[in-house]
């Protein structure tokens, strides 16, 4: 089983749509979880951390289900500028290394 698994997409959605991304992780001892965003040929940038209680930042909502080892990201009212690859990331190892999923490509259409 892959350490972090995501649906690669692409997700093609119209502006204004709501889109959800899912991710599973294999190491039940993982403690910290993130969603990063990566634009084409750019570096990953932190979008938001994911907490067990769920957290929201504007149009973005992240959820964590530890029992199922499942992480989600919901984007409401999609904008053209949301088009990017969304990376599910888990903190692992003794040295806080980040373990990346393959990413899910989102294309928001006008």
Interacting residues with other proteins (CB under 8 A)? 31-32, 34, 38, 41-46, 49, 87, 91, 93-103
Shortest distance in whole angstroms from residue 96 CB to other proteins: 6
State the nearest-atom distance from the C-beta of 76 to other proteins, in Å.
Answer: 24
Q: Minimum CB separation from other proteins for residue 77, in Å? A: 25
Nearer to other proteins, 87 or 108 (CB): 87
Residue 48's CB: how many other CB atoms inside 10 A?
A: 18
- Which of 22, 27, 21 is closest to 1 using CA atoms? 27
| C-alpha pair distances (Å), 34 with each of 5, 44, 51, 56, 108 | 13, 11, 9, 13, 22
Q: How many CA atoms lie within 13 A of 26 on its CB side?
A: 10
Residue with Cβ nearer other proteins (13 or 99): 99
Nearest approach, Cβ of 4 to other proteins (angstroms)? 9
* DSSP state letter for 61: E
Nearest C-alpha neighbor of 13 from the set 100, 84, 98, 91: 84
Name which of 88 and 108 has its Cβ closer to other proteins.
88
User: Measured from the CB atom, is 15 or 56 closer to other proteins?
Assistant: 56
């Amino acid at each position: 089983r892959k350490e972090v698994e995501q649906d690669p997409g692409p997700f093609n959605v119209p502006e204004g749509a709501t889109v959800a991304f899912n991710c599973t992780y294999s190491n039940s001892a993982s403690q910290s979880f993130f969603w990063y965003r990566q634009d084409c040929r750019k570096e990953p940038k932190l979008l938001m951390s994911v907490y067990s209680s769920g957290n929201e930042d504007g149009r973005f909502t992240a959820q964590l289900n530890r029992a199922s080892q499942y992480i989600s990201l919901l984007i409401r009212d999609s904008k053209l500028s949301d088009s990017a690859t969304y990376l599910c990331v888990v903190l692992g190892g003794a040295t806080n290394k980040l373990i990346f999923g393959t990413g899910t490509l989102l294309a928001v259409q006008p």
